[in-house]
Structure 1
Amino acid sequence: MSRRYAARAAVVAEAGPHGRTRLSELRSDGPLALRQTPDAVYLVGAAAGPLGGDELTLEVVVGPGARLAIRSVASTLVLPGEGESRFTVRARVGAGGHLDFAPEPTVAAAGSRHRATASIDLAEGGALRWREELILGRHGERPGRHAGRLDVTYGGRPLLRHELDLTDPAVRTSGAVLGGAGAVGSVLLAGPGLTASGRDSAAHAAEGLAVLPLAGPGVLVTALGAGSAQLRRRLEEGEALALGRARPGTGAARIA
């Protein structure tokens, strides 16, 4: 009999005394195991996958004035199974709060079908760093089918609607979409101090890298790479360019 999970994990961060952040809720479920360290909450794979048919959901709440970093201990390997696997993240960040979400890459193994969606609601004055990296197949294999969508609102207004659909093999192999790259990713920086104006409003583009100021308080960095190492370098370069325009108070959160 095949294994299928419908798991829902959650983390709630609240501002504590002396400017530190405390976790009022940390709930693991099935393969979504959460582990607290002094500097971040880590996603730990408690089972292989996700496999086709798995439905995984992560709920994140960062209260006013709180700071939370979410990382993972290893890459996520998406494997084939019965149907499409899904990973959904829903997050809310209060005024003065900061969420830094930067797990290790997702690897779309051959034969897999996966959909990743994230919906983030930032209150006025909230801040966000959101990094996503996708590796198209393991070494020497064809990639699986992957679709990702990121929806972000700021102060109740839409800030970003960003989608990359690689479920059609013709799209994955099109030079007009990925240009033969084996890895693709993005970093979204949003919050106070990131409103572009004047000369700073121009987008920056280089080989495999684009830095796009948004209409609201944010900058979107997108990059392509031959592999994970090149992709990470280009994303870091783009993030440095974005923060060179405006430097909000970003950084890892320390959890009490």
Structure 2
Amino acid sequence: MMDSHILVVARPDRLPHIESRGGIVGRRTGADTVHLVSSAATPLGGDRITVRVVVEAGAVLRLRSVAAAIALPGPATPISHAALELHAEGDLDVDLQPTLVAGGAEHHAALTACVGGTGVLRVRERVQIGRSGERAGYWSSTTRADVSGRPLLRHRVDLGSGAVGDDALGAPRAAISELSYPGGPRHHRHGATVLELAAGGALSTWQGEALPA
């Protein structure tokens, strides 16, 4: 079991500051871009990953990852956890590579976002249940987002074996969601449902059998 923690802080007119320990590290790939890189096999069952991002007013940050994350069952437990904590007073764009949940694994993701009065936020999340030929695996995601201390979104979804809507004959095995504030989604996929939020911004969701290439 491994705990991985990474902190990224973006300030105006400075390169992003990065601190990390465990199996995830950050690499500056541009003046306002940071890529997350796995330095070890994670998440395995029992692993916990925490990514905290702070973008100060007037700063811009693009958070990306270099490869998909593959959740695998561990020797003692199939369950792994990932938490993404976002604080945006500036412009924050998070678009990581997909999470793939292998057969027998169970992965729980949690997103917490606090957007300030001058903040701009976009977060896209993509997940695929099963590797080639697999339909097993379970994923859940919870989102709690606030703007200037007011609720923006409370959202939960699960997918895969054991999910509320699971059906062996035809339940979806892939999902894409995009939370954006104050504007609408930038990647509006055909068939997605777009929900305009009362406090501004929008949530776009899509589910299907497999993620688009």
TM-score (norm 1): 0.75
Q: How does 1:129-140 map to 2 (within 5 A)?
A: 129-140=122-133
Cα displacement string for residues 122-161 of structure 1 (whole angstroms, at most 9, x for unaligned residues): 0012110100001011110123121111111001100001
Q: Is the 8 A contact 2:129 2:173 kept in 1?
A: yes
Amino acid at match of 1:64: A
Using the alignment, how far apart are the partners of 1:164 and 1:185 within structure 2?
11
**Residue 223 of structure 1, aligned match among 174, 186, 206:** 206
Q: Quote how far apart the aligned CAs of 1:47 are.
A: 1.0
Q: How does 1:33-112 map to 2 (within 5 A)?
A: 33-38=25-30, 39-81=32-74, 82-83=76-77, 84-94=79-89, 97-112=90-105
Q: Quote how far apart the aligned CAs of 1:170 are.
A: 5.4
Q: SS of 1:229's equivalent?
A: coil
* Bigger Cα displacement from structure 2, 67-76 vs 158-167: 158-167
When you count strand as a share of all residues, which structure comes out higher? 2
When Rg is computed on C-alpha atoms for both structures, the one with the higher figure is: 1
Q: Quote how far apart the aligned CAs of 1:216 are.
A: 1.0
**Residue 177 of structure 2, aligned match among 182, 186, 193:** 186
Using the alignment, how far apart are the partners of 1:159 and 1:219 within structure 2?
9
Using the alignment, how far apart are the partners of 2:189 and 2:23 within structure 1?
39
Q: SS of 1:89's equivalent?
A: strand
Instruction: Please tell me the root mean square deviation across aligned C-alpha atoms, in Å.
Output: 2.2
Using the alignment, how far apart are the partners of 2:29 and 2:189 within structure 1?
37
Q: Is the 8 A contact 1:208 1:225 kept in 2?
A: no
After superposition, the Cα gap between the structure-2 partners of 1:70 and 1:106, relative to the gap in structure 1 and judged at 3 Å, is same
Q: Percent identical across equivalent pairs?
A: 38
Q: Is the 8 A contact 1:113 1:167 kept in 2?
A: no
Amino acid at match of 1:158: P
Bigger relative contact order, structure 1 or 2 (CA pairs below 8 A, ≥6 apart) = 1
Structure 2 residue runs of 5 or longer lacking an equivalent are none
Q: Quote how far apart the aligned CAs of 1:172 are.
A: 5.2
Using the alignment, how far apart are the partners of 1:52 and 1:149 within structure 2?
19
Using the alignment, how far apart are the partners of 2:208 and 2:155 within structure 1?
19
Using the alignment, how far apart are the partners of 1:134 and 1:73 within structure 2?
15
Q: Which residue of 1 aligns with 2:164?
A: 171
Q: Which residue of 2 aligns with 1:5?
A: 2
Using the alignment, how far apart are the partners of 1:207 and 1:22 within structure 2?
37
Cα displacement string for residues 24-70 of structure 1 (whole angstroms, at most 9, x for unaligned residues): x2012111111111152111111112000011111110001111000
Q: Which residue of 1 aligns with 2:150?
A: 157
TM-score (norm 2): 0.89
Is residue 27 from structure 1 mapped to residue 19 from structure 2 by the alignment?
yes
After superposition, the Cα gap between the structure-2 partners of 1:174 and 1:163, relative to the gap in structure 1 and judged at 3 Å, is same
Q: SS of 1:42's equivalent?
A: strand
Amino acid at match of 1:184: A
Using the alignment, how far apart are the partners of 1:152 and 1:182 within structure 2?
25
Using the alignment, how far apart are the partners of 1:116 and 1:45 within structure 2?
17
Using the alignment, how far apart are the partners of 1:120 and 1:170 within structure 2?
25
Aligned residues: 207
Q: SS of 2:164's equivalent?
A: helix
After superposition, the Cα gap between the structure-2 partners of 1:15 and 1:207, relative to the gap in structure 1 and judged at 3 Å, is closer
